[in-house]
Structures are given as structure tokens and as C-alpha cells.
Amino acid sequence: MHSVAELEDRLSEPSGALITDLAALDGDILILGAGGKLGPSLTRLALRAVNGSKSVIAVSRFGDKAAADELTKAGAKIISADVTDDSTLAGLPDARNVIFLVGSKFGSTGREADTWYTNAYLPGRIAERYKSSRIVALSTGNVYSFTPVGSGGPTEETAPAPIGEYAMSCLGRERVMTSFAQRNKTPLAIIRLNYAVEMRYGVLIDIARSVFAKTPVDVTMSAVNVVWQGYANEAVLRSLRHATPEPFMLNVAGPETLSVRQLATDFGKIFGVEPVLTGSEAPTALLSNSGKCIRLFGYPGVPLGQLMEWTAGWVKDGLPLLGKPTGFQKRDGKF
């Protein structure tokens, strides 16, 4: 993996199963929050999967005009809009299939009221505006509490127990959207993602950069799940076919429980340095059990070893990053 162009191409390479699933859906695809971390690659993936058979409409503030221009070149219909504005939201086009990616995490501490507005109030307005659509809404594995490292992590049947206001507001998103879905009989899927990685962002980048720079890696959060973002994007899009008013709940995460210490050690071997470790490993961690997702959609096509190799090469070559650390080490829920 040697360039952003190569990365974007790999992230947006659709599987045959995704092509089949989207072909079976009626109507166009509207992506709300298409300018965020997942949005551009997910939009490109949808475009390549439908191959002109339906429109893919990308909605975002698009503060980065270059991102909008690139999606336009890829074939998306671009709408630069602030969906928190009532008249703007009302004026958006109807669409049979809606992907809702808008959320607030980083900087949420000190901005708790705005975080709840974005993560809990706005989703209800989206659910009401698109009550006649299928909706897939992105949530987070942070709605779960910490679980023992050897437990395999919470399943979709595990009762949420969020830590901190960010996580609580995300559970608020789920509850509010569920209420609207059940009231209006709207097919809804809620995706609890934990953690998607690519070469510019994610837990692997956070650990690899620290090891390479010989700065401390905190191992107190002793274990993580990571999953290739291309797979996560496919799971989001394919969940349109599984949406139900109940709603359909899905953990999207890597199939392995990974030791943070071991990841740091392995990156150290790749870089030829001794990792600097700090903290004492806790017996519990923020984890997710992705068994249901794996049964539905298969194993991720990019295994951990390949992800680590790509990540190490990216760091060594000094290639572009998004500059948004995940904060995976945090145990107080403050982001």
C-alpha cells in the first residue's frame, strides 16, 4: 500500500455479494454524513457496486471541497448541506435507502450538550424525515461496558452499559431511532462499529506511530478488536437488506481479541525497535463479539497480518494521516 489513491481503490473494491445485495434493492441510496471518516470510501464503494444502476447521493457540509469534487468525479450526486437545519433537511431528496453516518465523538468532553444534540436529537429528526425509507444508522461498540478479555466480548443481546456521555448519547441515538422505527414501521439497522481501521486512521495506526516514534503505548486497555474499513463499509451497505422495525442490530468488529501489548511488540519487530510500554493491563476491555456479522457476511477479506504490514509501511513512508487519534486507551469515556 503505497499511496492514498491505492488505498482508496482497495477500500472501494466491492465483493460479488455486495453487488448482488444492492442490485436486489429498489431505489436510490442517500448517504448522510458522506464527508466524514467513513463517508468518502463508503460512497465510492456503493458507486462501484451499483455501477450506474441507481443513484448514490452524498450529503455533507463538505468543508473540504476537494473531497466533494473527488466524489463527483467518481459519479456521486453531491449535496452540500447542513442536515441540522430544519428547512435544509426537509428539502433533501427522498430516497428508498438511507445511510446515516452523522455523529459527534472527538471533542465531546466540554461540549456535552452539542454532543447529545448531534447523537440523540438529530437522529430522531432523520428517522421522521425518512420514515418511508430503509435506514442503516451507524452507532458504536462504546454502548457496551468493559468485559473480561477472555469472554469474547458482548453480543447484540448483551444489555448496553455505556461509560461516559459520548457513549450514553450514542445509546440515546439507538433508543430514539428505535422508537421512531417501531412507531412508523420503518426498516432500520443499527451498526455498532468497534474499531474500523485503514492506513490513515485507527487503532493500528495509533499503536504503530507510537512504537515507531518510541513514545509510550498505554496497555491499560489491554485488548481491542479491529476490522478493515472496507469490510465495515460493506457490512453497513449490506445491512440495508436486513433492516426491520425491531430494529436489526449488528456488531461490526474484527473476529479476534487482540492484545495491545502483542500488537506493540509485533510492530516493534517490524520496525526494529523496542516498544515503550506503560500502564498495567486491566482484566477488562471495550470489546465486541462479531459472530453474527461473520455468519451473515463472512470473514473480513483483509486479515490482521496484512493490515499490520500495510500500516507499518504507511508509517515508515510518512504517508498522509487523518490526524484523529481514536482514544482507544481511554477508560473514563471522555473524548
Place of cell 436486489: 24
List % helix, strand, coil for the chain (3-state, nearest 5): 45, 15, 40
Q: How far is CA 100 from CA 37, 58, 182, in A?
A: 13, 11, 18
Over residues 103-138, the pLDDT tens digits come to: 988 666 788 999 999 999 999 999 999 999 999 999
3-state SS assignment for residue 73: helix
- Report the Cα 92 to chain-centroid distance in Å: 24
Give one DSSP letter per residue of 255-322, joined into a string.
SS-EEHHHHHHHHHHHHTS---EES---SEE-----HHHHHHH-S-SS-HHHHHHHHHHHHHHT----
Q: How confident is the model at residue 268 (pLDDT cuts 50, 70, 90)?
A: very high
Relative to beta strand 258-259, strand 223-224 is: antiparallel
pLDDT > 90? residue 335: no
- The pLDDT assigned to 63 comes to 83
d(CA 193, CA 251): 6
User: Which of 117, 122, 105, 121 shows the shortest CA–CA distance to 166?
Assistant: 105
pLDDT value at residue 181: 98
Q: What is the mean pLDDT of residues 217-227?
A: 97
Query: 92: helix, coil or strand?
Result: coil
Going along the chain from its start, the domains and CATH numbers come out as 4-197+228-254+287-300 (3.40.50.720)
Confidence class for position 245, pLDDT limits 50, 70, 90: very high
pLDDT digits (tens, 9 = 90+) for 7-47: 999 999 999 999 999 999 999 999 999 998 899 999 999 99
Return the residue matching grid coordinates 463517508: 39
Task: Calculate what percentage of the chain has a pLDDT beyond 90.
Answer: 93
Output the nine-digit C-alpha cell for 6. 491505492
Report the pLDDT value the prediction gives residue 108, as an integer from 0 to 100. Answer: 65
Q: How far apart are CA 167 and CA 161, in angstroms?
A: 9
pLDDT band at 81 (very low <50, low <70, confident <90, very high): very high
Look up the pTM and report it.
Answer: 0.95
What is the rounded CA–CA span in Å between residue 98 and residue 133?
7
For 239-263, b/e burial (b = at least 16 CB within 10 A) is: bbbbbeeebbbbbbbbeebbbbbeb
The whole-number pLDDT of residue 106 equals 67
